[in-house]
Structure 1
Amino acid sequence: YDRTAIESGALDGRGLEIAYAADAAEFFFLQIQGSGRLRLPDGGIMRIGYDTQNGRGYVGIGKLLLDRGALQRGQASMQGILDYLRADPVRGAAVMNENPSWVFFRELTGPGPLGALGVPVTGRASVAADPKYVPLGAPVFLSLDRAEPGGLWIAQDTGGAIKGANRFDSFWGAGDEARAIAGGMSGRGSALLLLPRASIARLIPAP
């Protein structure tokens, strides 16, 4: 089922729910991020992480809104898109449904959130990458047109929106500061993949 079908009740009655979100737009971004913390009605916190996905391709709504002129350059940050979605909930729901991908979560009770390697990711140290081009576990040195993400990171995760040799998603951890940085994070530059010489020799045969 795609997002529209699931939102319309295609999976109702199967007992798959672990919690209910009070804000549809926040939940949409939680699915993009792949993990997060839920504040429960009693004040407690539930940590959730990626479990599986519905098999549908990811469509970035930020680009859709830019292409249609609904947002201008500089407005397509996470907060800018959230403001647009919340301004008209019916319109916002229709836009979110244009991304057919749906991420399912599970409750995390141990260390986490977990990356694609099955080990916890670390704020300001772990990035998601496309494993077709970047081996998971490899160090990556980022040099971008903004200071925050520059430096050495470890490729520990993947993502439906992370496709291509030079596409990375940096993990900033939890809390207001991490949210502010991650929500506005977009940079251009270069990435250097650091590999042992023997590995490079196997990957790139001699002429």
Structure 2
Amino acid sequence: MRQPAGRSARRTGGERKPREERWAELIEVATQVFYEKGYEAASLQDIADRLGMLKGSLYYYIQSKEDLLFDVISAVHREGLSVIQARADTEGDPLQRLENVIVGHVEHTCRNLVPTTVFLHELSALPPERRQEVLGSEHAYQGVFRGLIELAQKEGLVRADVDPRLAALSVLGATNWVYRWFRPGGEFTPEKIGAQMAEMVIRGIASEKVLSARVAGQA
């Protein structure tokens, strides 16, 4: 049974682990409450009421509201990271895999607006050391994008003047912002947004030989 992330360093030897089903429900409800009210305005009582349990019962699972936010944020980060790592491990050259990663990230964001919003809005509510614990010392999420850009650059697929770190930050900044304007059921589907954003990114950083090959392939 998975141990809740926020409590890994806080359990004592005699503490029981929460049942997986109840823990998953707690994370889901807390995510929704933080989304609706914001972390600062939300209370543990709000979450307990939504779960139909006593506030004191929450302390079986957590020690504080900050612990709960940490667990919510960690869960969102782990799931998103798993999605883009899977896309990065597909076949193809580094630039093709970067395109797959961008599409996957955008589609995942569009289909998970509530947890994505909580992550992007409330990460800063955690103390710096806990934010670092979520993101990892090497900023694992950003690292997937940066690593593929670096590989593509070494293979001559990305222009030599492109700074991989700056490019990765720019891509994440643009794709993360989708959560602010995407509307489910609207004119633009997650697939269309992902494909077009990926195309714009690739055209912005690709080397001349790659761009020429793409033009030739469309002729």
Q: Which TM-score bucket, shorter chain as reference?
A: under 0.3
Larger Rg: 2
For CA contacts below 8 A with separation 6 or more, give which structure has more relative contact order: 2
Q: Which has the higher strand share?
A: 1
TM-score of the two chains, using structure 1 as the length reference: 0.26
TM-score of the two chains, using structure 2 as the length reference: 0.25
